[in-house]
Amino acid sequence: MAGSLNVPHKISLPEAMRAGTVLRIQGSVPDKAKRFHVNLLLSDGQDADAALHFNPRMDESVVVLNSKDSGKWGREERGAGLPFQGGRPFDLLLIATE
């Protein structure tokens, strides 16, 4: 995916997504943002399930990952460290595995 995207941003996954597929998302963190998210959705609907909810939280210095299946959120995974700053661009690479 080329070019910058506004965040929060939602994107529907390609049907041919398989192990080894790389998605590149470029954007800018909103100035003075405490949090933002990128959602990889399984459909276009308002209440679509999410294969990935990627949620950097500058106010907690953590990146939270989650998914939503059949309308229910899964267990959050939290990663320490935060490579994002308000008002700064980012380049995010998501690599699909089995």
List, for residues 21-78, the tens digit of each pLDDT value. Answer: 888 888 888 888 899 888 888 888 788 899 899 999 999 999 999 999 999 999 999 9
The answer to whether the bond into 8 is cis (omega within 30° of 0) is yes
Distance spanning both ends of the chain, measured CA to CA: 22
Residues 36 and 24: their CA atoms lie apart, in Å, by 17
The tokens for 56 are 């950097």
CB 87 within 8 A of CB 28: yes
Of 82, 50, 80, 89, the closest CA to residue 68 belongs to: 50
